[in-house]
Amino acid sequence: MKLKFTKMHGAGNDFVVIDAINQRIDFTPEQWKRLGDRRFGIGADQMLVVEKPTRPGCDFRYRIFNSDGGEVEQCGNGARAFAKFVSEKGLTDRSSISVETMAGVIAPRLEADGSVTVDMGAPVLDPALVPFDAEGLRGVAEGRDVLWPLTLELAGDKETVLVSVVSMGNPHAVQLVADVDSAPVELTGPLIEHHPRFPRRVNAGFMQLLDRKHIRLRVFERGVGETLACGTGTCAAVVAGIRRGLLDSPVRVDARGGQLSIAWEGEGQPVWLTGPAVTVFEGEIEI
């Protein structure tokens, strides 16, 4: 079959976006992986699927597949691309929409300057629900957060890193580093992603503080590898920084692919993510 798609990005986190309202989509994990492959397919960090909603009150259903072919719960940069896509394709004439995801309902809004703001919902802070297995571990209290020691095996040596664990619908482990440019993202990212304490694997965030309202961030994403930006990773890092008493909302986040902004008023409150969403090209592929 021929599949129509749109290539988009949000701060360099890139997507293949597919209208599954006007096309029939029923792909295997191998087919999703092929679409995401930069040599044998189109190439993207995630494939985003636009469907009719199944929940009353929602405008759309949003499904997300990582480039390894696995379906996941949430994608923040993708949510902004999703909102721009449904507007540009005339699938809605509303600038604020309600979108059903595997992890609950999120609410993107198109801004007058072309950026998109998303109500990403409240973060989940109970380690068991992230999910993170804290059994037998002693956490270190800092502000309202608890830092958990993760032991990593590095070429025969053991190294312990302290992480905050946060779910934005998907799991994140965020650590503070002195300098993101020299942080061992490629080396320790995969070890954190596959650490046995995270039964569903995890996205590994590396956060550098610049001041109380400004950070730099790199994220080694579950099912992808390092991306140029990660929206949910950005939300998780800022939530962790605010809970640790290191940051004040709103916070500007510099990712390698662009700039995002996060506002969070504290526990039980939604996280607001603002940033760019850009259409790159339209295409068609035989699948």
Ligand X SMILES: N[C@@H](CCC[C@H](N)C(=O)O)C(=O)O
Feature table: binding site for substrate: 13, 46, 66, 76-77, 170, 203, 221-222, 231-232
Q: Give the chain as a 3 state SS string.
A: CEEEEEEEEECCEEEEEEECCCCCCCCCHHHHHHHHCCCCCCCCCEEEEEECCCCCCCCEEEEEEECCCCEECCCHHHHHHHHHHHHHCCCCCCCECCEEECCEEEEEEECCCCCEEEECCCCECCHHHCCCCCCCCCCEEECCEEEEEEEEEECCEEEEEEEEEEECCCEEEEEECCCCCCCCHHHHHHHHHCCCCCCCCCEEEEEEEEECCEEEEEEEECCCEEECCCHHHHHHHHHHHHHCCCCCCCEEEEECCEEEEEEECCCCCCEEEEECCEEEEEEEEEC
CB of 170 to ligand X, least distance (A): 3
- Which of 77, 117 has the CB closer to ligand X? 77
| Paired strand residues for 151 | 160
Give the other-Cβ count within 10 Å of 26's Cβ: 7
Catalytic positions, written as ranges: 75, 230
Distance separating the N- and C-terminal Cα atoms of the chain:
6
Rounded Cα distance, 183 and 64, in Å: 28
- Which of 232, 249 has the CB closer to ligand X? 232
Residues that bind ligand X (CB under 6 A): 13, 45-46, 66, 72, 75-78, 170, 203, 221-224, 227, 230-232
- Which of 74, 156 has the CB closer to ligand X? 74
Rounded Cα distance, 218 and 255, in Å: 6
Radius of gyration of the CA atoms of the chain, in A: 18
CB of 1 to ligand X, least distance (A): 26
- Which of 57, 100 has the CB closer to ligand X? 100
- Which of 146, 271 has the CB closer to ligand X? 271
CB of 217 to ligand X, least distance (A): 11
